[in-house]
Amino acid sequence: MLNILRDNLSYLKPILWIVAGTFVLFFGVSWWQPGASRGETWVATVEGQEISFPIWRERASNLENQYRRSLGAQWDQVKENYNVRQIVAEQLIQRELVVMDAQRLGLGVSTAELASWIRDNPQFQRDGVFVGDEEYKRFVGRNFGFTNASAYEDYVKGDLLAAKWQGLIASSVVVFKDDIEAEFRKRHERVEFDYIALDFAKYEETINPSDLELNAWYEARGDEYSQGEGRRALYVLFDEKAAEGQVEVTDQQIEEYYNDQKELFETPEERQASQILIRVAPDADEAAVESARAQILGLSAEIRSGKDFAELAGQYSEDPGSKDRGGDLGWFAKGRMVPEFDEAVFSLEPGVLSEPVRTTFGFHLIRVEGIREPGVQPLDEVREQIRAQLRFPKMRDVQQKLASKFKSEVTDLDSFRQVAESEGIDVRDAGVVPRSGSIPDLGPVPEMITAIFDLEPGTVSDLISLPRGEVVFVVDQVVDDYVPPLSTQKERILADYRREQALSAARNDLERALSRSGNDFARAAKRVGAQVQSTSPALIRGQEIPGIGVDPAVERAAFDASVGETVGPMEGSKAAVVLKITDRQEADLEQLPMEEAQIEAALRQPQVGRLISARLETLRDAAEVSFNKRLISPEQYQ
């Protein structure tokens, strides 16, 4: 089985997000820990198996910090678009489904395989040698969010099982010789041609249809914009406003919770530190290491002579997450940084500059800015946090009772309207929505959309629990072929209209110019204010063509034509194009053996990806999955 994995590993790299590479060391500006003070233990369950909250938190923290390091200051502007919590939860759910499936298939991981993986992991080596059991166990306890090495090893076994599962799927993919040869021909065939490209952008600027013209054009192309079946639902929402005045959390309840759960509010010693990082790769040659060492020593000398640490950090540090803040890493507890950095920070006195510290990232200069002693957060500091924690289940309970009462009193569309009116409950119209749509005021709520399409028209739904509250609805209308109103997507429709009209006008102008010039490219180009261009060197597939770009339609026409043939005018992606083939070069099949393995891998990879995606989708659909809604809800992504 390991041979299968090794043979197929090169094809799997883009999709092996599940496996043991998961454990990325945290090294950033903050420790992201929603739910930690509430004592959460799980984030989701798969067939009753809990997804660990600490593992999810560690992974989510790492992912957010990767985004932060990549995007820098832009992260704070765009982070609302990244549902980090949901992304990581789904990854861990898929991992659990894969592990379960692997076990059903009889796959396993031996003790020897696990030991070999640990010994060969660079994180557990020093100078290429395993660090030993004791240091390994301390390292795992400090860095990976596991209570002990045994728990970590159980998790790694799951990762290795996932890798074997993916290797097993990959081994079922067969790439045929004919397909490899065809791909080789595509890669090495070349064609040369002269062409005229008439960009249609200048035509678009003059196209301004009336509302009547645009509407007629849109209606004539309804099939192109159809979103399939659509359904209109009427619904009532029992949200926080509906439960207002019926939920109270007293100061006594808050104090009792605080006293009973005081360990949740304990805080370890934390330190605020600043750094200057000069990066050097772990496997860098001696010259690169010495160059980085010299640079960090030079900066150290400048600081000790009175230069401002923050100013030098902003100028020279190579850590994008902290350099713009003068090297400030914020507050963090022991065990959150890589070991060498951690040890230095927690051995320094405030204000003292460290000697250069070498880690896997490079050389660091560190200065501790402050120390927070361990203790317990005061009640007044966490009072509102506890109030919200205690209020949430009470509020949901009231919402469910109100929704259940309403549900028990209605049986069809008429009674739905009547009971809502008599009790002063607001009936909301979701409008016609397709399966991929969203509901006004509720946003993307896939569980409700699914229920709308599963329900018989005219019947009343069961309670649907959404982050905002409880919903009861009735399907009022079914539209077999739903085309959204023009007003809901006018910008897109106008752009499509302009593009079509501009391309047609450009093609017609080019066609007339060719006809009047007797297909003389130079004269035709002059008539339309363009130039004759030539491919040089010869074109290969996927290559950008000046004035045209990478255009599959133009490329396909060029490679399908014979030498001397004129093709077009045709509509490209950004221009009307006519071309004349001047030369062709066929692929040299004698060179095929040199590229056969690489081509086979390239053809195999997407097939493996599709098989894995299909299998994961099947597993996900069949599995019973539930979420801890205190952690995974759209409201908390804000």
| DSSP-assigned letter for residue 109 | -
Q: Provide the domain count of the chain.
A: 4
Q: Is residue 598 part of a domain?
A: no
- pLDDT, position 303: 93
* Contact between 466 and 442 (Cβ < 8 Å): yes
Distance CA 295, CA 279 (A): 10
How would you classify the pairing of strands 49-52 and 428-434?
A: unpaired
Could you tell me if 503 and 620 lie in one domain? no
CATH number, domain with residue 61:
1.10.4030
Pair (127, 168) in one structural domain:
yes
CB of 109 closer than 8 Å to CB of 157 = yes
Residue 580 in 3-state DSSP? Answer: strand
Domain that holds residue 332: 269-373
Q: Are 96 and 49 in contact (CB under 8 A)?
A: yes
Predicted pLDDT at 273: 94
Do 285 and 414 meet the contact criterion of CB atoms below 8 Å apart?
no
CA distance 439 to 467: 14
For helices 592-622 and 2-12, the axis angle rounded to 10 degrees is 100
In this structure, the dihedral spanned by the alpha carbons of residues 21, 25, 30 and 34, taken in order and rounded to 10 degrees, is: 50
Q: Which two tokens stand for residue 472?
A: 């009861």
Q: Residues 369, 394: one domain?
A: no
Looking at the structure, tell me whether residues 356 and 302 fall in a common domain.
yes
Q: Are residues 217 and 358 in the same domain?
A: no
What is residue 22's predicted lDDT score, i.e. its pLDDT? 36
- ω into residue 537 within 30 of 0, thus cis? yes
Query: Token digits for 276?
Result: 């200057």
Are 272 and 350 in contact, with CB atoms under 8 Å apart? no
Q: Are 242 and 402 in contact (CB under 8 A)?
A: yes
pLDDT score at 279: 92
How many Å from the N-terminal Cα to the C-terminal Cα in the chain?
A: 45
Q: Which positions ≥6 away from 48 have C-beta within 8 Å?
A: 624
What does the block give as tokens for 45?
């369950």
CA distance 34 to 54: 10
Same domain, 84 and 213: no
pLDDT at residue 37 in the model: 40
CA distance 392 to 629: 11
Interhelix angle 592-622/149-171, rounded to 10 degrees, is 120
Q: Is the dihedral of CA 71, 73, 76, 81 positive or negative?
A: negative
Nearest to 317 by CA among 286, 294, 296: 296
pLDDT of residue 25: 31
Residue 578 lies in a domain: yes
Structural domain contains residue 261: no
The Cα 425–Cα 551 span in angstroms is 56
Residue 255 lies in a domain: no
Between β-strands 230-239 and 469-479, what pairing exists: parallel, antiparallel or unpaired? antiparallel
Q: Which of 448, 466, 482 is the last residue of a domain?
A: 482
Closest to 61 measured CA to CA, from 38, 40, 35, 41: 35
347 shares a domain with 209: no
Q: Is 604 inside a domain boundary? A: no
pLDDT of residue 236: 93
- Quick one: tokens of 286? 């001696």
With respect to residue 253, please indicate whether it lies within any of the assigned structural domains: no
List of long-range contacts for 22-26, beta carbons under 8 Å, 24+ apart = 22/59, 22/159, 23/123, 23/143, 23/144, 24/62, 24/66, 25/123, 25/143, 25/338, 25/360, 26/58, 26/61, 26/62, 26/65, 26/143, 26/336, 26/337
Domain final position from 326, 347, 373: 373
What percent of the chain shows pLDDT beyond 70? 92
Q: Is residue 591 part of a domain?
A: no
pLDDT per position as a tens digit, 241-252: 888 888 888 999
- 27 and 84 assigned to the same domain: yes
Low-confidence ranges of the chain (pLDDT < 70): 1-40, 143-145, 633-638
Residue 201 and residue 283 share a domain: no
Last residue of a domain, one of 436, 456, 482: 482
Residues 83 and 50 in one domain: yes
207 by DSSP, 3-state: which?
Answer: coil
Residues 298 and 243 in one domain: no
- Whole-number Cα distances in Å, 576 to 110, 295, 563: 62, 56, 21
The C-alpha atoms of residue 363 and residue 354 are separated, in whole angstroms, by 11
Q: How much is the pLDDT for 40?
A: 66
Are residue 41 and residue 160 in the same domain, yes or no? yes
In Å, what is the CA distance from 8 to each residue of 100, 156, 183? Answer: 21, 20, 20
Looking at the domain assignment, is residue 542 inside a domain?
Answer: yes
Whole-angstrom distance, CA of residue 64 vs CA of residue 82: 9
Distance (Å, whole) CA 17 – CA 9: 12
